[in-house]
Amino acid sequence: MSQKILVIDDDRGVRAICGFILAKEGYDVQYASDGAEALAEIHKETFDLILLDIILPFVDGRHIAKLIRSKGVTTPIVLISSLPEEVVEESRGMCGASGYILKPYKKATLISEVKKALSGIEKD
């Protein structure tokens, strides 16, 4: 059975490319375009990993991550962002994410960070 990943990003193109790459690697990929949709998906299903964009409409990804954690969900979260690395690293610590990926990212980076997060290895 393949591992399930939820990709939360408001950019349809990013969701599609990310999903395509991950599906080719054998992952079962689900999508959400905003926080409300993401929380609904997490309420319905259990995921092995959550890829979460920080900049989302209505409620930002950091707040969504905190809400996910407040519900007792321990699924690894990897933040995705084009914000400066220092901001993303600080956000990672504040919201309990196991790692992050900076946009624009390469296919190899995405796959590597996903594998690290799924194996329990936190970003240095």
pLDDT digits (tens, 9 = 90+) for 70-85: 989 999 999 999 999 9
**Is the pLDDT reported for residue 122 higher than 80?**
no
Mean pLDDT of the residues in the chain: 94
> What are 15's two structure tokens?
């969701």
Q: Please give the Cα distance from 67 to 71 (Å, whole number).
A: 6
CATH ID of 4-119, from 1.10.8.50, 3.40.50.2300, 3.40.50.410, 3.40.50.11440? 3.40.50.2300
What pLDDT is recorded for position 124? Answer: 56
Instruction: Return the structure tokens found at 85.
Output: 């690395």
Which class for 85: exposed (0-12), middle (13-18), buried (19 or more C-beta within 10 A)? exposed
Q: What is the pTM of this model?
A: 0.94
Q: What is the pLDDT of residues 23-62, one digit of tens each?
A: 999 999 999 999 999 999 999 999 999 999 999 999 999 9
pLDDT of residue 121: 75
Return the pLDDT at 9: 97
